[in-house]
Structure 1
C-alpha cells in the first residue's frame, strides 16, 4: 500500500505541497504544511497523533 502524497495542507488549505516540499503527516496520512504543524505543536487535530516529517519520494525517470 503506497503512501498517499497529498498536495494541500488540511489546515490552511492554501499551501500547495509539492512532492519535494517539506510537510508533516500523521499515521493516518493527514497532511499539513510545516507552519501549520508548528502552530499545532506537531499534534494532528483529527486523530491526536504525532505529526512527523513526510518522507520524500524518489523521482522516477523514464
Structure 2
C-alpha cells in the first residue's frame, strides 16, 4: 500500500479515505483525481476508485 500520492506526494496513510487507486494500485489523492487527472489514471488509463482502508495493528495483537 503506497503511502503518498504519485502526483503531488500528499501523505496517504493506510486509514486515509482520500486515497484512490486503479487496478494496478497506482495511488493518487482525491484532490489530484478530481482535479487535473479527471478520474483517470495517467499511467494506465484506468478508472480510479476509493482505496480500501486499513486500521493499524495494535501492539498487543
Same-fold call, TM cutoff 0.5: yes
- Where structure 2 has 5 or more consecutive residues not aligned to the other structure, the ranges are none
- TM-score, length-normalised on structure 2? 0.84
- TM-score, length-normalised on structure 1? 0.82
CA RMSD of aligned residues (A): 1.1
Q: Number of aligned pairs? A: 57
Largest Rg, 1 or 2: 2
- Where relative contact order (Cα < 8 A, 6+ residues apart) is larger, the structure is 2
Q: Aligned partners of 1:36 and 1:51: how far apart in 2?
A: 11
- Where structure 1 has 5 or more consecutive residues not aligned to the other structure, the ranges are none
